[in-house]
A and B are shown apart, each in its own frame.
Chain A
Amino acid sequence: MIHSVLGGGVTALCCAMALSDRGLDVEVIVPDGAPEPASRFAGGMLAPFCEGESAPELIVAKGQASVNWWAAHVPDVVRRGTLVVAPPRDVSELERFARATREHDWVSPGDLEPDLAGRFARGLFFSSEAHLDPRHALSSLKSSLESRGVSFRTGAPRGRIVDCRGVASHDELADLRGVRGEMLIVHAPDVTLTRPVRLLHPRFPCYIVPRENGRYMIGATMVESARRGGVTARAAMELLSAAYTLHPGFAEAEILELGAGLRPSFPDNIPAIRHAADRIHVNGMYRHGFLMAPVCAEQLATELAELHAHAD
C-alpha cells in the first residue's frame, strides 16, 4: 500500500523520508494553493536543551536524537552548539535560564565568538546543540526523495493518508491553533557569528542564527494569534533592536526578508501523532519543527512498518 503524505513542510518531508527509509511506498501531496509552510520561517536550531527553558522534559529527552537524524539525511548540519547571553541589566535572566536548563557551561562569550568580546561578561554554552538552514534542509530532503522515485504532486491521495498540513489541518483537528511567529533575514557583513546566539530579555527575547554568506536569521516573536499577513512594525522593531543590542554591526545590515508563519500547536504545545478514522495526523510541532519532526516521523515509520510487515 502506498502512503500519501499531505503537506510540504518539515513534518511532511521528515515523515516521507522516514517511511521511505523503511522501504515503504510513499507519495507527497502538496495541496493546491497551500500557504508556504511555517518551517520556511524557522530558525533551524537543533537545541533541545535550550528549549527546555520552557518546553517539557519530553522535548528535551526525545529531541536530542534529531541532530544525528538530520546529519544522516542532509548535508550542512553545523555542530557548534548554542550560546546564550543577556544584556548587563538583565543578567538575572541568564541565571533563570541556567536553572531551567541542563547540559550547559558558563563561558566568556568572547572566547567562543570573538565579535562578542567585551560586550557580554558571561554566557551559557550548550555545546552539544546544532543548527541547519531550514530551506536548504527542506530542498535536500525533497531532492533525496525525488531521486528515490517519490512523487510530489497535487490532487487526490491514492493511499493511506498521513496528514502533515500544519495549521491547515485545523479543519480536522479542533484543538489545533496557530501561534504566530515573525522573523527577519538580514545580510550583515560587519558581524561574524558562527553559531546560534540567544539574547535573553524579559520582554523581547530573540535569537540569531547564522546562515551562509554573512546572512543571519533573526527570530522570532510568539503571539497567540492566527493572523497571517506581514510582519508588524512592532515585531520588526523589537527584533531589530534586540539584534542591535547583541551587536551594533546589525545596525548596518541590509534587510533581505521579513517573514511570518503560524506554528501549528496543540494546547500542551507538544507534537503528537493522532489516529483518525481515515488518516493519521502528525502535527502540533509548535516551535519545535526541526527538532521534533524527525522524532515523530521515526515513531510513525516504525508503527507503519510493523503494520506493513503483519499485512504481508
Chain B
Amino acid sequence: MFYGVDLTSRLMLGTAQYPSPQVLLEAIEASGAEVITVSLRREGAAGGAFRDLLAKSRCRLLPNTAGCHTFREAVTTARMAREVFGTSWIKLEVIGHADTLQPDPFALVEAARVLCAEGFDVFPYTTEDLIVGEKLLEAGCKVLMPWGAPIGSGQGLRNLQGLRTMRAHFPDVPLVVDAGIGAPSQAAQAMELGFDAVLLNTAVAKAVNPVGMARAFGRAIQAGREGHQAGLMLERDMASASTPVFGLAELA
C-alpha cells in the first residue's frame, strides 16, 4: 500500500526524454504502469499542454521535485505541484551533487519533515542508508525510495547487499527502487529481493524502441514479484564437494 493506494502494477514510469508524447502514452499503456512521475521545476506553469496529454494516460500522477538542489527549492516546487496537479503525492528529490545526482540526505530529511507536516504524501528519493531511512520515517514518510544506482546510469542494483539489508531492516515499509535501472532483468532482481515497486525512466524513454522496452519492463517486474511471492529457492553450493555419503569406493 502506497499511502492507502493499492497498485496492481508495480512499475512506476518517468515521463521525460521520450521521442514524443504519443510514444510516451503508448509506452505507459504497454508497460501497464498505474503511476507516472512528472516534473515541474523546469517546465513551470506554462507546461500545461504536456500535462494535459499526460492526463490522457489515466494514471495516478506522482509529481516530482527533479532539478531541485536545495531544501527551499524542493519545498516550493512541491507546494506548486500540489496546486498544479491537485494531488498530495510528491516524489521528493533533493539533489546533492549535480554530476552523480546523488540525493542530499540532510536537505531531504528537512524537506520531508516540512512537507509531511503540511499533509503531503512524501515519496523520498534516498540512498540505501538505514539511518537516513529511519529519519525519513520519523519525519512522517510512509514510503522509502532507495536508489539502485545514480539516475540515468543504467548500472542496476549497485549495492545489492545494502539493498537486502534495507529490505530486512524495514520489513513493513513500502520500498521502491528508484533510479539506475537499465535492464528488465535488473528490475526483476529488485522485485525478487522483495521490493514493492520499481521506478524508472531513461531505460525506457531512450530505448531504440521505447514501447517495446516498456512492455518488457512491465513483464519483468511482474515476473520478479511473482517469483518473490512464490518463494525463491536458495542457492546451493555444488561446486566444492562436501562429504559424499554414497557411491564412493572405500579404498582403505
Interface residues of A (CB under 8 A from B): 54-56, 96, 99-100, 177-178, 202-203, 223-227, 234, 265, 267-270, 286
Q: Quick one: which of B23, B25, B50, B208 has the most chain A CB within 10 A?
A: B50
Contact: A227 with B19, CB < 8 Å?
A: no
Contact: B53 with A225, CB < 8 Å?
A: no
A225 to B51 alpha-carbon distance, docked (Å): 10
Q: Which residue of A lies closest to B48 (CB)?
A: A226
Which of B19, B42, B43, B48 is within 8 Å of A54, CB to CB? B19
A145 to B35 alpha-carbon distance, docked (Å): 52
Contacts of A55 in B (CB 8 A): 19
Contacts of A227 in B (CB 8 A): 44, 46
Which of A54, A178, A203 is within 8 Å of B49, CB to CB? A178
A36 to B46 alpha-carbon distance, docked (Å): 19
A203 to B50 alpha-carbon distance, docked (Å): 20
Contacts of B21 in A (CB 8 A): 267-269
Q: Quick one: which of A54, A177, A224 has the most chain B CB within 10 A?
A: A224
Contact: A225 with B42, CB < 8 Å?
A: yes
Contacts of A177 in B (CB 8 A): 49-50, 53
Contact: B20 with A268, CB < 8 Å?
A: yes
Contacts of B202 in A (CB 8 A): 202
Once A178-B49, A267-B20 are accepted as A-B contacts, the answer to whether A225 and B208 lie under 8 Å apart by CB is no
A178 to B46 alpha-carbon distance, docked (Å): 9
Contact: A226 with B47, CB < 8 Å?
A: yes
Contact: B20 with A225, CB < 8 Å?
A: no
Contacts of B42 in A (CB 8 A): 223, 225, 234
Closest 9 CB pairs of A and B: A177-B49, A269-B20, A268-B22, A224-B50, A227-B46, A54-B19, A225-B43, A225-B47, A225-B46
Residue B82 lies at the interface, judged by CB distance under 8 Å to chain A = no
Contacts of A226 in B (CB 8 A): 46-49
Min CB gap B56→A, angstroms: 9
A286 to B46 alpha-carbon distance, docked (Å): 17
Residue B58 lies at the interface, judged by CB distance under 8 Å to chain A = no
Residue B206 lies at the interface, judged by CB distance under 8 Å to chain A = yes
A100 to B207 alpha-carbon distance, docked (Å): 9
Residue B152 lies at the interface, judged by CB distance under 8 Å to chain A = yes
Q: Which residue of B lies closest to A234 (CB)?
A: B42
Min CB gap B59→A, angstroms: 16
Contact: A202 with B22, CB < 8 Å?
A: no
A96 to B47 alpha-carbon distance, docked (Å): 29
A56 to B23 alpha-carbon distance, docked (Å): 10
Contact: A269 with B208, CB < 8 Å?
A: no
A142 to B21 alpha-carbon distance, docked (Å): 34
Once A100-B208, A234-B42 are accepted as A-B contacts, the answer to whether A267 and B152 lie under 8 Å apart by CB is no
Contact: A224 with B20, CB < 8 Å?
A: no
Contacts of A234 in B (CB 8 A): 42
Min CB gap B41→A, angstroms: 10
**How big is chain B's contact interface, by range?**
10 to 19
Contacts of A223 in B (CB 8 A): 42-43, 47
Contacts of B25 in A (CB 8 A): 267
Q: Which residue of A lies closest to B210 (CB)?
A: A54
Contacts of B53 in A (CB 8 A): 177, 267
Min CB gap B88→A, angstroms: 23
Contacts of B49 in A (CB 8 A): 177-178, 224, 226
Min CB gap B198→A, angstroms: 20
Contact: A269 with B47, CB < 8 Å?
A: no
Once A202-B152, A234-B42 are accepted as A-B contacts, the answer to whether A56 and B19 lie under 8 Å apart by CB is yes
A54 to B22 alpha-carbon distance, docked (Å): 13
Q: Which residue of A lies closest to B23 (CB)?
A: A268
Once A96-B206, A177-B49, A225-B44 are accepted as A-B contacts, the answer to whether A203 and B22 lie under 8 Å apart by CB is no
Contacts of A99 in B (CB 8 A): 208
Contact: B152 with A203, CB < 8 Å?
A: yes
Near A by CB (< 8 A), chain B positions 19-55 give 19-23, 25, 42-44, 46-50, 53
Min CB gap A233→B, angstroms: 12
A223 to B67 alpha-carbon distance, docked (Å): 13
A226 to B51 alpha-carbon distance, docked (Å): 12
A54 to B209 alpha-carbon distance, docked (Å): 10
A96 to B210 alpha-carbon distance, docked (Å): 13
The 19 sampled A-B contact pairs (Cβ below 8 Å) are A54-B19, A56-B19, A100-B208, A177-B49, A202-B152, A202-B202, A223-B42, A224-B50, A226-B46, A226-B49, A267-B20, A267-B25, A267-B53, A268-B20, A268-B23, A269-B20, A269-B21, A269-B22, A270-B20
Contacts of B19 in A (CB 8 A): 54-56, 269
A178 to B152 alpha-carbon distance, docked (Å): 26
Which of B22, B47, B152, B206 is within 8 Å of A224, CB to CB? B47
Min CB gap A257→B, angstroms: 22
Q: Which residue of A lies closest to B45 (CB)?
A: A227
Min CB gap A93→B, angstroms: 9
A244 to B181 alpha-carbon distance, docked (Å): 30
A267 to B49 alpha-carbon distance, docked (Å): 10
